[in-house]
Amino acid sequence: MAKHAWIFVYGASPTVFTSDVLSFSGNWGRQNYLDNYAGGGFSVTIKNNTNQVASFIRGTTVQIQFSDTQPCWTGKVTTVNYNDYPGNTGLSTATIQCVDILAQAGKFTMKNMNYTAAQTCTQAAQTNALFPTAPQITSSTAGDSTASGTGGTYSGTILNRLNVLNNTEKGLLTAGSTLIGFIARSQVYFSSTSVQLKRTGNDATTISYTDIRRIGLGDNFMNQVTVTPETVAAQLSDNTTSQTAYGISGYSLSTADSTTTQAADLASWLSTMQGDPATLRYEVDFDDVSCNATAFRDFMYDALYVLRPNVTMQYQAQGQSLQTIPSVIEGMSFSGTPAQTNVTVYLSPASYYQYFILDSTTYGILDTSRLGW
């Protein structure tokens, strides 16, 4: 399969079925900083002349692995669609639909869950011991904001609660092979991929992309933000400088902030950080055929397996100078055939996560990095 030698396996053993694969496609993460996480997944179309798809019953684990068998994308079977050739004389196929662990968390519903007040990442993991068969959540830190307790009143899915907690924390959620990673906002800057996204270049640390799209804030331009917590009063922040220059554009965000001070600080951060309509996000396309094989593998490995969300991206608009943009990987979409694997990466500017950190060359920049909350 493709220039990168993906390995396709299913089941607990696992069993390799790479030779039957005709194509695959899917998505991971999210496209936009303001998006809630819906979960992702992928589909794999295989040959089905001898009923190969019989092994893919609902709930079967399917992995797309790197050539060294490390997992890249992992999902569980939800649906199989059949394309049977008339007369049983041609190539019959089946398409296997799989969802990742974040999407699985959207199917696990709790009633009257007693989340106790805690730091956001710590509260998120409170379901792990109580529901050991549910998707498990991990984090390298307790989180930077305190989430209020629910007092035995929360009824809903694990994923819905994770989105509320991430709205409070403003970090990242990641779908791993066996765990959901909750990256606190202060941890986003710690890990960067060694691979850069550039207009040109073809070496072990450079991906030369095939296309780039710069997207203005549009509906994500916000200079008036209302944060509405579960247990304390809503807090409003007006970025008056931005409002004077561009008019008022506002939205409301539901959170689990435990105090009005914390909620007010979050609202202030968001109205300031999203108050410049000239801020851009990016979509970058590349494939495994036109870029260096080592760079392709390392970028995907860093983003999906070891969770290094920071990447440097360069672009040059016509008639303008070369721009170097520190960015954060929000998510990606992908598709592959035996000839090629195509990837689109969705990037936010690092300024969305750019809390001032002393002595950091990326996040310790005066007049650029802002004091966090």
Residues 311-320 pLDDT 10s: 999 999 889 9
Which residue, 329, 37, 306, is CA-closest to 158? Answer: 37
pLDDT band at 356 (very low <50, low <70, confident <90, very high): very low
Q: Is the pLDDT of residue 209 over 90?
A: yes
What pLDDT does residue 189 have?
A: 78
Which residue type sits at 55?
A: S
What pLDDT does residue 174 have?
A: 95
Which residue, 348, 354, 352, 351, is CA-closest to 371? Answer: 354
The correct CATH number of 7-99 out of 1.10.10, 2.40.30, 1.10.1450, 1.10.8 is 2.40.30
Q: Is the pLDDT of residue 76 over 90?
A: yes
Q: Which of 133-147, 198-212, 253-267, 296-310 has the lowest mean pLDDT?
A: 296-310
H runs (alpha helix) in the chain? 101-105, 120-124, 127-130, 158-169, 240-246, 260-273, 293-304
The reported pTM is: 0.92
What pLDDT does residue 131 have?
A: 97
Instruction: Answer whether 274's CB lies under 8 Å from 223's CB.
Output: yes
Q: Is the pLDDT of residue 370 over 70?
A: no
Cα-based torsion angle of the residue sequence 16, 19, 22, 24 in order, rounded to the nearest 10 degrees: 30
pLDDT in tens, 272-302: 989 999 999 999 999 999 999 999 999 999 9
pLDDT band at 26 (very low <50, low <70, confident <90, very high): very high
| Identical fold between 7-99 and 196-217+279-353 | no
* Mean pLDDT in residue range 91-114: 97
What pLDDT does residue 308 have?
A: 82
Q: Which residues, other chains included, contact 237 with Cβ-Cβ below 8 Å and sequence gap of 6+?
A: 224, 225, 226, 227, 264, 267, 268, 270, 271, 272
Residue spans of the domains in the chain: they are 7-99, 109-187, 196-217+279-353, 218-273
Q: Is the pLDDT of residue 3 over 80?
A: yes
Per DSSP, which regions of 302-362 are E strands? 310-315, 323-336, 341-349
Q: Which of 83-92, 169-178, 264-273 has the lowest mean pLDDT?
A: 83-92
Q: Higher-confidence residue: 270 or 373?
A: 270
* Mean pLDDT in residue range 67-88: 91
pLDDT in tens, 35-70: 999 999 999 999 999 999 999 999 999 999 999 999
pLDDT in tens, 108-160: 999 999 999 999 999 999 999 999 999 999 999 999 999 999 999 999 999 99
Q: Is the pLDDT of residue 361 over 80?
A: no
What pLDDT does residue 286 have?
A: 97
Q: What percent of the chain has pLDDT over 90?
A: 82
What pLDDT does residue 372 have?
A: 55
Pairing label, strands 109-113, 310-315: unpaired
Q: Is the pLDDT of residue 358 over 70?
A: no
What pLDDT does residue 202 have?
A: 85
Architecture of domain 109-187: 3-Layer(bab) Sandwich (3.55)
Per DSSP, which regions of 199-260 are E strands? 206-208, 211-216, 224-229, 235-238, 250-255
CATH number corresponding to 196-217+279-353: 2.40.10
* Mean pLDDT in residue range 322-343: 95
What pLDDT does residue 201 have?
A: 85
